[in-house]
Amino acid sequence: MTIREIRERTLRARHLMQRSRRQRFAVGAFNIDNQETLIAVARAAAKLDAPVLVEVSQGEVDAIGLDNVRDMVDNYRAEYGVEMYINLDHSPSVEAAKKGIDAGFEFIHIDISQADHGASEAEIIAGTQEVVEYAKFTGALVESEPHYFAGSSTLHDEKINYAEIKETFSTPEGAKSFVTATGIDTFAASIGNLHGKYAVPKKLDLQLLAEIRKAICVNISLHGGSGTPLHYFTEAAQIGVSKININSDMRVAFRQALEKVLVENPHEYAVVKLMPPVYGAVQKVVEEKIKAFGSAGKAVL
């Protein structure tokens, strides 16, 4: 894309975030591992007339490539006629974040603590400030948080230690200070959400979320949405969350559907013929989240 086209897309992305705040809905940010997952997200968005973010973290970038992700999303965006943008999720360094900006990604999440869990707040602020300044060229929206975000995008057998997690909860004062220091567009709040899918449902502190919403004027995102009872999402959107990340729920649906179809078709080696049930399983998860987020029917093309 040309710089002009990139800037037009990022401006539309900013308008989407403004609409989400004004109309009280959240936009789903769905991680993709492959083309099949992307197709499922695009089909769900088309069916429900919902705006969506497709996101890739560093592992997915390494496997697919930044430019390939940009091209694939643009192709399916046009094919299905959907409002769809790209988020670079948990970019572990300033350099990696800049590459996402150069590739025309509309949303950039810079996560200094992802690569260095012990990074100081001063280091995180300095790196985030650099990305915010660099992103001004294209208008990309920058997201960040002042500390390491717990969990991982997989299945966890252990129970959730809320006493430990609460030590890293966001505070209204801390959120305001970080937003002021960095100039970010989106603050990633920690209110009981954590990455991965656990044996027990997650519990979100919505009162704390409401206090954070009052303290800052930028967008708020929730990471680690998988394994969370849907009513939390609906309430969070009403409070003023604009973006909710989903990954593990989709991965579980993908793998379980694939395992089932492989067992049922032991003599089929044309993999493409095995994929429709897998698309469907992942699409079902995406549709469920979109409805809970309140973003169905909110696309503007």
Q: Residue 180: helix, strand or coil by DSSP?
A: helix
115: Cα separation from own chain's centroid: 18
Which CATH number do you get for residue 194?
A: 3.20.20.70
Question: Does 151 score more than 60 pLDDT?
Answer: no
Count how many domains the chain has. Answer: 1
Q: How far apart are CA 264 and CA 207, in angstroms?
A: 47
* Beta strands per DSSP E along 79-150: 84-91, 107-110, 141-144
% of the chain with per-residue pLDDT over 90: 83
In this predicted model, which residue has the larger pLDDT, 122 or 198?
122
Q: Is residue 282 part of a domain?
A: yes
* 227-267 per-position pLDDT tens digit: 899 999 999 999 999 999 999 999 999 999 999 999 999 99
Question: Does 286 score more than 90 pLDDT?
Answer: yes
Q: Is residue 76 part of a domain?
A: yes
Q: Is residue 166 part of a domain?
A: yes
Q: Is residue 123 part of a domain?
A: yes
Q: Is residue 42 part of a domain?
A: yes
φ, ψ for residue 132 (rounded to 5)?
-60, -45
221-252 burial, b if ≥16 CB within 10 A, otherwise e? bbbbbbbbeeebbbebbebbbbbbbbbbbbbb
Mean pLDDT rounded to a whole number for the chain? 93
Question: Does 13 score more than 70 pLDDT?
Answer: yes
Question: Does 160 score more than 60 pLDDT?
Answer: yes
Q: Is residue 300 part of a domain?
A: no
Active site residues: 89
Q: Is residue 38 part of a domain?
A: yes
* 206-221 per-position pLDDT tens digit: 999 999 999 999 999 9
Structural domain boundaries enclosing 11: 3-293
% of the chain with per-residue pLDDT over 70: 93
